[in-house]
Amino acid sequence: MAIQTINPFNNQVVKTFQEMSEEAVDSAIARAEKTFESWKRISYQERATILHKVAALMRSKSTQLAELITLEMGKLIAQSKGEIALSADIIDYYATNGATFLANKQLDPQYGEAYITSSPIGVLLGVEPWNFPFYQVARFAAPNIMAGNVVLVKHASNVPQCAVAIEELFTEAGAPEGLYTNLFVSGNNVSAYIADPRIKGVSLTGSEKAGASLAAAAGRSLKKSVLELGGSDAFIVLEDADIDQAVEWGVIGRMNNTGQCCVAAKRFIVVEAVAEEFLTKFKAKLTGLKVGDPMDESTELGPLSSENAAVQLADQVQRSVYAGARVVLGGKRIDRPGAFMETTILTDIKPGMPAYYEELFGPVASFYTVKDEQEAVKLANDSPFGLGGSVFTSDKNRGKNVASQIDTGMVFINHPTWTQPDLPFGGTKISGYGRELSSLGIEEFVNKKLIRFSEYTDPF
Ligand code: NAP
């Protein structure tokens, strides 16, 4: 894939970048390894100082950085600004709390004394997607850098200016050269570098195909990997839910980032007692959104991230319709330049149709009516994905009970799946393994070392 900015609002090429040569990648890895030797020795306080500076710079350049996001992948500008604020919060959060998460943990063995220390493991490679170009990088880089690791980041090829801007923030914040390095390498070529013994761990957020390829390469070299992959979150509405509230959240859950979130609400599963009411109100809210330039604050429906993404989504809808799904709203590309797709609702979806098992990465909602709570849980779990999900009910205990039966990494009650700096993020099944964020995330790439002290007289 060429490394270039293509504005999805008009599909015009804006800027093209050269892929790095093997020699340049080799030098970058060497620099990172050298920097690790000093970075691992400095105090948490010194690491935090750099990270706080990165966060402050990010906030001070919020508009400029948000415009880069919108230019490169089409996110509505207000949401791009929100992403910058969230990313800065994440960086600050690990700078402030990293030392506490990684403090020695005293154990209580039968004999003698023992404790666990957390030490960094070295140079990490992060492979990141375009859908949240700053947030995805922040949640990989900040905890790992705070832990004493150094990072190489291979960002998605369609957000190169965001990739450069993040590296520049670290440089401007006074980070040592090699602490954070942007690698301009295409996705097809990145796995080849994983065998390099100087790289100690890999983390990928992206598709299952890319995840499987990277994990296979990591496995061949016996390296730890963390995978954050796709999702097809169920959005369950029970008969005792506040339907107006559920509809409001349903629209946000499906439409945020023009539907291109791994944890977007993708499958709306509504019990029959309230299905018609929900669908009528949901359709009304999704009808007539103002289509236009994502840089314009008044636009409500912008383009998808690329022409390819729009072509693929329209094809999934069309193939589902050929197989018998019914279009309640939208269903086609919007007749104008750019990567636009109509807001769409599909019903009558059956196993075997693309909309049933595949991830729909855009403004297309799959709508299912079920008899009751039990059927809702069964359908929610009939998915190869296991990322997030949500359940709407006015009974908190009922919500918790349903949540306990959903086979995913995250379930939200009365809210679409979302993220915040202090909560773990990640999935199960083909949505990946490992976690980012929270104490779980910061511990993925550290050596949890046991230190044991015995008296000579302790038994064997
Ligand atoms: P993608 O094609 O897998 O790209 C993601 C990253 O992987 C890019 O940097 C890409 O580089 C790289 N890549 C592509 N092929 C690769 C390979 N064979 N080996 C190693 N790296 C490779 O994913 P996408 O379509 O851009 O992103 C959307 C997907 O990400 C969706 O499925 C979404 O659900 C998932 N996602 C998951 C999470 C989560 O936390 N679970 C969060 C956000 C997105 P190039 O750009 O150079 O191809």
CATH number at residue 391: 3.40.309.10
Pocket lining: 274 vs ligand 1, CB cutoff 6 Å: no
Pocket lining: 229 vs ligand 1, CB cutoff 6 Å: yes
Is 279 inside a domain boundary?
Answer: yes
Helix, strand, coil percentages in the chain from 3-state DSSP, rounded to 5: 40, 20, 35
Mark whether 34 and 104 lie in a shared domain: yes
Mark whether 406 and 442 lie in a shared domain: no
Could you tell me the distance, in angstroms and rounded to a whole number, from the CA of residue 233 to the centre of ligand 1?
18
pTM value? Answer: 0.97
* Mutation choice for ligand 1 from 127, 157, 202, 266, CB with most ligand atoms inside 8 A: 127
Is 272 inside a domain boundary?
Answer: yes
For the CA of 157, the nearest atom of ligand 1? 46
For the CA of 431, the nearest atom of ligand 1? 41
Mark whether 213 and 73 lie in a shared domain: yes
Mark whether 146 and 249 lie in a shared domain: no
For the CA of 154, the nearest atom of ligand 1? 9
Pocket lining: 1 vs ligand 1, CB cutoff 6 Å: yes
Could you tell me the distance, in angstroms and rounded to a whole number, from the CA of residue 62 to the centre of ligand 1?
25
Residues of 231-264 as b/e, b for ≥16 C-beta within 10 angstroms? Answer: bbbbbbbbebbebeebbebbbebbbbbbbbbbbb
Mark whether 194 and 338 lie in a shared domain: no
Pocket lining: 190 vs ligand 1, CB cutoff 6 Å: yes
Mark whether 218 and 243 lie in a shared domain: no
Beta strands 428-429 and 385-386: pairing type?
Answer: antiparallel
Just list the catalytic residues.
228, 262
Q: By residue range, what is the domain housing residue 25?
A: 3-229+431-451
Mark whether 221 and 263 lie in a shared domain: no
Mark whether 171 and 273 lie in a shared domain: no
Pocket lining: 187 vs ligand 1, CB cutoff 6 Å: yes
Is 301 inside a domain boundary?
Answer: yes
Is 426 inside a domain boundary?
Answer: no
Mark whether 323 and 357 lie in a shared domain: yes
Q: Are 69 and 297 in contact (CB under 8 A)?
A: no
Is 176 inside a domain boundary?
Answer: yes
Is 129 inside a domain boundary?
Answer: yes
Pocket lining: 385 vs ligand 1, CB cutoff 6 Å: no
CA angle 99, 101, 103 (to 5 degrees): 60
Residue whose tokens read 């039968």: 110
Is 420 inside a domain boundary?
Answer: no
Pocket lining: 214 vs ligand 1, CB cutoff 6 Å: yes
User: Long-range contacts: 408-414, Cβ < 8 Å, 24+?
Assistant: 408/231, 408/233, 409/435, 410/263, 412/388, 414/241, 414/245, 414/246, 414/249, 414/390
Domain count along the chain? 2
| CATH assignment at residue 81 | 3.40.605.10
For the CA of 186, the nearest atom of ligand 1? 47
Mark whether 263 and 347 lie in a shared domain: yes
Could you tell me the distance, in angstroms and rounded to a whole number, from the CA of residue 383 to the centre of ligand 1?
20
Is 458 inside a domain boundary?
Answer: no
> What does the alpha-carbon distance between residue 434 and residue 426 come to, in Å, rounded to a whole number?
6
Mark whether 60 and 111 lie in a shared domain: yes
Q: Are 122 and 200 in contact (CB under 8 A)?
A: yes
Mark whether 216 and 241 lie in a shared domain: no
pLDDT tens over the chain, length 460 residues = 899 999 999 999 999 999 999 999 999 999 999 999 999 999 999 999 999 999 999 999 999 999 999 999 999 999 999 999 999 999 999 999 999 999 999 999 988 899 999 999 999 999 999 999 999 999 999 999 999 999 999 999 999 999 999 999 999 999 999 999 999 999 999 999 999 999 999 999 999 999 999 999 999 999 999 999 999 999 999 999 999 999 999 999 999 999 999 999 999 999 999 999 999 999 999 999 999 999 999 999 999 999 999 999 999 999 999 999 999 999 999 999 999 999 999 999 999 999 999 999 999 999 999 999 999 999 999 999 999 999 999 999 999 999 999 999 999 999 999 999 999 999 999 999 999 999 999 999 999 999 999 888 777 7
